[in-house]
Structure 1
Amino acid sequence: MNAFDYDTAFTRTVGWVTRPELHTLREKRVAIAGLGGVGGSHLLTLARLGIGHFHIADFDHFELHNMNRQAGASMSRLGQPKVEALRDLALDINPELDIRIFPEGVSTTRMDAFLEGADVYVDGLDFFVFQTRRDMFAACQQRGIPAVTVAPLGMGAALLNFHPSGMTFDKYFDLRDDLDDEALSVRFMMGLAPAMLHMGYLADPDAVDLAAQRGPSTPMACELCAGVAGTEVLKILLGRGRVTWAPRGVQYDAYRQRLARTWRPGGNRNPLQRLLIGIALRRLARLRDQRLARSSSETG
C-alpha cells in the first residue's frame, strides 16, 4: 500500500497557492451543515484543496432519488447515513483529516459544538430548511464566522457571502415567522438569485411546487456550486482575492452562458425585489391553479 504524504498529494495545487499557503489551508477548519445536493460536493472539493479539519452534519440517509446529483450517492450506499459515507470518502482522499461528524444534524442545542473552532461556515442545508438555516447564519454572525452559501439553480450557481460585521442573513432575505413555506421559499430563491437567469429554460413548470417543497435539480449545478464555494473559502481563509459580501451577489448560469452581478441594498426589502417577489408569487399561484384544473379534469 502506498503511504500517504500531504505535500505530494496536494502538490499540484501549488502555483495557484504558495506552499506556505497550502500549509495554512491544512490548519484551517470548515463547518458544513447538510451533505445532500451541494454539501457533499463541498466537502470533497475542500478536502482536495488540502483543508485539514472539518465539522460535517447531516441526519439523512442516501435514497434512490438522490442519485441524480448528490456526491456519495450510489447503489452500494443506499440506506447509509450521508455523514458517515461522506466522511469515509473524504478520508479516502486525505487519511490525515481531522473530521468530526454530527449524525443528528444541527439545531440550536448543537450549534456551539458544531461551530467550535470553525474558520468559515459553508451552507449545504436543504433548500426548504428555513428555521435551522436562519439560526445557523445568526450563530455564525454572533461568533464572528464568515458564512458562504451557493445555491444550485437550474444549471448554474448563485453565490452569497455573509460577513460577520455586514448585512445579516435575516435582514437580507427578510424572512419572518409569519410567512408560510411558499412565501419563505420565494423570498429565499429571489434573494439568492435576483437576476433569475435560470428561469428562462424551465422545461416543465409542473416540477416546481414550492408549497409541497419540491423542485428539480441537476448535477451540473451542484458541481458548479462546489467550485464556486471552494474558491470563496480559499479567498476567505487566505485573506486574498476579491470577496463579494451581501447585499452583493453573483449568479452564473452555464446553460445560458451568462454571468450576473447583483446589488440589492436592503435585500428583499428593496423596492425592485418586492416587485419581483410579488410577480413570482402570482406566477406560482397561476401554476397551482393550472395543476388543480388538470387534476380535476383527469379525475372528472
Structure 2
Amino acid sequence: MDFNYDVAFSRNIGWVTHDEQASLRTKRVAIAGCGGVGGLHSLTLARLGVGKINISDFDQFDIHNINRQSGAFVSTKDQDKIEVMSAMLKDINPEIEIGSFPAGIDETNVDRFLDGVDLYIDSLDFFALAARKLVFNRCYEKGIPVVTAAPLGMGAALLCFMPGKMTYEEYFRFNDKQTEEGQLIQFLIGLSPAMLQRNYLVDQDAVDFHEQRGPSTAMSVNLCAGIAETYALKILLGRGKVLCAPYGLHFDAYKNKLSKTWCPFGNRGWLQKLKFKIAEKVVSGK
C-alpha cells in the first residue's frame, strides 16, 4: 500500500498548519445519511484529513440517485450505500477509522453513533423527522455541535447549532405543530427563511409532500459540502467566527445572491408564521 498521510494531505497546508492537520487526523465526525449531501460530506471530510467518521444508512443506491449522489453509478445500483461509501472513504485514506451503522439511527444505537464525536453533520432525508429530532436532541444533551446544510434549488442554506446557544427546538419549534405535515413545513421555512430558490421552480408538480419527493441538483449538493465542511474545519479547529442559530446563511448561485438570515424567535417570529401559512397553502394545494 503506497499511502502516507502527511503526503496525501500536504496540499491542505497553508490553509491549515501542520499542527492543525495533525489535529484533524484525531477528530471524529458523525454523519447520518450516505445519500446526496451525506455522501459528499463524508468524502470532503476524508479529503480534509479527518481521521474518524461515523456514517449511517439503511438504503441502497438506485438509478434515480445518479443526478446527485456521490456513490451512485450504474455499477452500484442495488448496492448498500454504506458499503459503497465506506469503500470510497478507504480508497481516499486507507487509515481512516469508520464507524458503520447500516441499520440507520434509532433509540437503540444513537448513543453509540455519537460516542466520542466532536461534530455532527445532519444529512438525513428531509422527511426523516423522527430520526432527525432524536439525533438533534442527543447532540444537545451531549454538547455536540450540529451543522446542517440544505440543498435548495441551485444553492445551499446553512444552519449551525452550538452548545450553550439557541437549540434546534427553540429555532424550528416542531412542537408547535401537531401534524407531521406541519412539522415538515416548520423544518422547510426554518432551513430556508430567505426562500431564494422559490421563484425558479419551473415544475410545481415535482414537489409532493404526501409522496415525500422533491427535485434536486448536483450543484446544490456540492455547495452544501463546501459550506458545511468549511464550518466543520472552523469548529473542529476552534478557529474563525462560527455563525450559529438564530443566524444562518443562504447562497443561491442561480440567483447570484447571498443572504444572511436572522430569526431571533425561530419559527415563532411573525414573519416565519406568515411564511408557514403561505407554505401550508402551497403544500395543501388550496
Class of the TM-score when normalised by the shorter of the 2 chains = over 0.9
Alignment partner, residue 249 of structure 2: 250
Q: Which runs of 5+ in 1 are unaligned?
A: 290-300
Q: Distance in 2 between matches of 1:249 and 1:99?
A: 30
Q: CA deviation at 1:109?
A: 1.4
Q: CA deviation at 1:177?
A: 7.9
Q: CA deviation at 1:260?
A: 0.2
Structure 2 matches for 1:142-181, cutoff 5 A? 142-176=141-175, 179-181=178-180
Q: Distance in 1 between matches of 2:121 and 2:132?
A: 11
Letter in 2 for 1:183: G
Closer, same or farther in 2 for the Cα pair 1:264/1:177, shift >3 Å? closer
Alignment partner, residue 271 of structure 1: 270
Decide whether the 8 Å contact of 2:177 with 2:183 is kept in 1. Answer: no
Q: CA deviation at 1:243?
A: 0.6
Decide whether the 8 Å contact of 1:122 with 1:148 is kept in 2. Answer: yes
Output one character per residue of 1:84-139: Cα deviation in whole Å (capped at 9) or x when no partner.
11010000000000111000010111111000000000011000001110110010
Q: CA deviation at 1:186?
A: 1.4
> Is 2:279 aligned against 1:280?
yes
Alignment partner, residue 41 of structure 1: 40
Alignment partner, residue 197 of structure 2: 198
Moved over 4 A (4+): none
Size of the alignment, in residue pairs?
A: 286
Alignment partner, residue 5 of structure 1: 4
Q: TM-score, normalised by structure 1?
A: 0.93
Q: TM-score, normalised by structure 2?
A: 0.98
Aligned-residue Cα RMSD (Å) equals: 1.1
Q: Distance in 1 between matches of 2:91 and 2:138?
A: 31
Q: Which runs of 5+ in 2 are unaligned?
A: none
Larger radius of gyration: 1
* Identical columns (%): 53
Q: Distance in 1 between matches of 2:59 and 2:275?
A: 34
Letter in 2 for 1:64: I
**Which has the higher mean CA deviation after the structures are superposed, 140-149 or 175-184?**
175-184
Letter in 2 for 1:210: F
Letter in 1 for 2:201: L
Alignment partner, residue 138 of structure 1: 137
Decide whether the 8 Å contact of 1:181 with 1:211 is kept in 2. Answer: no
